[in-house]
Amino acid sequence: MSLQLRDYQDATLAALRQGFAEGKRAQILYAPTGAGKTEMAIALLNATRGKGNKAAMLLDRIILCDQTSERLEKYHIPHGVLQSGHWRYRPYESIQVCSAQTLEKRGSFPGLNLLIVDECHTTRQQTIDFIKNNPEVRVIGLTATPFTKGLAHIYDNIVNTITTKELVDQKVLMPLRVFIAKEIDMTGAKKVAGEWSQAEASKRGMQITGNIVEEWIRKTNEIFGGPRKTIVFCSGVEHGADLAAQFAAEGYNFVSVSYRDDDQFKRDVIEDFARPDTEIHGLIATDILTKGFDVPDVMIGVSARPFSKSLSSHIQQMGRIMRRADNKEFAVWLDHSGNYLRFQEDWEAVYHNGVDVLDDGKEKAKKEKTDDEKKQSKCPACGHLWPGGSDTCLHCGHVRERQNKVSSIPGVLEELEGMASRDNKQAFWAMCQWYVKYRGWSSGRAAHCYKDKFGVWPRGLADSVASPDIAFDKFVKSRLIAYLKGKGK
């Protein structure tokens, strides 16, 4: 099979080459999970080989090295796997696939022209040192979540030519239907380096294991008429084992995998699960399934590991169920962690705009929504996340009492079901800008009006101007009346 790239993939490689031509030595190739970063990397490796130069791809797990080697073999591209005892150990080949641990042991890579670092948001000090100590080597980092502190000090450019929304629109990725289920309560939970302790998250997750299993059974039957391939992101090893046992008690075959299992077992389980006729209903893991897991026909994702600040992990997890497959029109996300609401604003920004700036600041813990805000975020009848600007549930048709929201415009409903409409927010902000331009509002007042409407400050929106509609004028008037009442006038 020959390697054929999509138009946006060709555009991405062209942008990387332009970056090198402009003197950028270490660049990040950003693309959403499922956009084909591995294929783009293989094209770069092969192009380097075609020029008589040496290239290597660095991965942080041995199992990922084998998967990448299999992909190269699929396209009949000669290469070696730089690992002692590996059956494909061929140090003379121009393309080498190796683990980060192998590079750390070697300490050098003589004659290397191009280094591709997979999942470059997972930074390892030895890899950073190699990049900085070998200025003659061009470097490309691959990631769907370039948010790690310090990336801007390692890479001097980021290339982003396609967004998640565009891939959903093109049906390269599938939209999500999000359900907010019974949440793991992390109130007062111990944190380590700003993130909730995995041991405590696992303990608290086990308290609602029955709810997780019950909700999965209900939704998989309600939506699909029976079990569909599922991956569950649990809070820890014990939580995973408890979930597997309770699924089994209900007659479902869920396999829990963790760092305690050897690589061969994990490889065999994932290969079995990937088969169309597998008897495994679902896999359960903490973070193993967030890297190199490529089973497109997974239909359901269950989020049962709360994150306080790790937007990267949240996006990586959702990306595992958004891959395209035959007869797959959408994927279902069952949120027991609270992560979807916790990271909703950031996720929407990434979904619509991608990432074009490397932030060297720390990831900040997200402010928790109040119980009332959480209640208002989901349909009381089925738990589906309310679409922005609509009072009718997209899943069950339940109609809630009018909340004085802007009515949705026919034909502009978000492809990503369950996510607040970015178009509605942009339209509201443009009407705020009209008041700034023609009614003498300050920019601060416009921002406060937006926050009154959506509960968050405006972010990543264009300062375009649009004439206010009746609903907007009514909202402004209602806020003014509330303000005056508060002042006792």
Per-position pLDDT tens, the chain of length 489: 788 999 999 999 999 999 999 999 999 999 999 999 999 999 999 999 999 999 999 998 877 888 899 999 999 999 999 887 889 999 999 999 998 888 888 877 889 999 999 999 988 898 999 999 999 999 999 999 999 888 999 999 999 999 999 999 999 999 999 998 888 888 888 888 888 888 888 888 888 888 999 999 999 999 999 999 999 999 888 999 999 999 999 999 999 998 888 888 988 999 999 999 999 999 999 877 777 688 999 999 999 999 988 899 999 999 999 999 999 999 999 999 989 989 988 898 899 889 988 875 555 566 667 777 677 777 877 878 866 556 677 677 677 654 433 222 232 222 233 444 677 788 889 999 999 999 999 988 999 888 888 777 888 788 899 888 888 888 888 888 877 777 665
Say if residue 236 is in the same domain as residue 352. yes
Please report, for the domain that includes residue 113, its CATH number. Answer: 3.40.50.300
Nearest alpha carbon to residue 207 among 179, 187, 177: 187
Element (H, E) at 9: helix 7-21
* CB 53 within 8 Å of CB 114: yes
Q: Is the pTM of this model over 0.85?
A: no
Say if residue 223 is in the same domain as residue 356. yes
Residue 102 inside a domain? The answer is yes
Picking from 312, 346, 376, the residue at the C-terminal end of a domain is 376
Say if residue 123 is in the same domain as residue 232. no
Say if residue 132 is in the same domain as residue 200. no
Say if residue 363 is in the same domain as residue 457. no
Say if residue 133 is in the same domain as residue 53. yes
Picking from 130, 162, 194, the residue at the C-terminal end of a domain is 162
Residue 11 inside a domain? The answer is yes
Nearest alpha carbon to residue 445 among 433, 454, 462, 455: 433
Residue 280 inside a domain? The answer is yes
Residue 393 inside a domain? The answer is no
Say if residue 157 is in the same domain as residue 220. no
Domain extent, residue 115, equals 7-162
**CA atoms of 19 and 160, how far apart (whole Å):** 12
Say if residue 371 is in the same domain as residue 462. no
Residue 98 inside a domain? The answer is yes
**CA atoms of 431 and 412, how far apart (whole Å):** 18
**Burial of 287 (C-beta count, 10 Å sphere; 0-12/13-18/19+):** middle
Count of structural domains within the chain:
3
Say if residue 473 is in the same domain as residue 360. no
Residue 388 inside a domain? The answer is no
Say if residue 133 is in the same domain as residue 180. no
Say if residue 312 is in the same domain as residue 252. yes
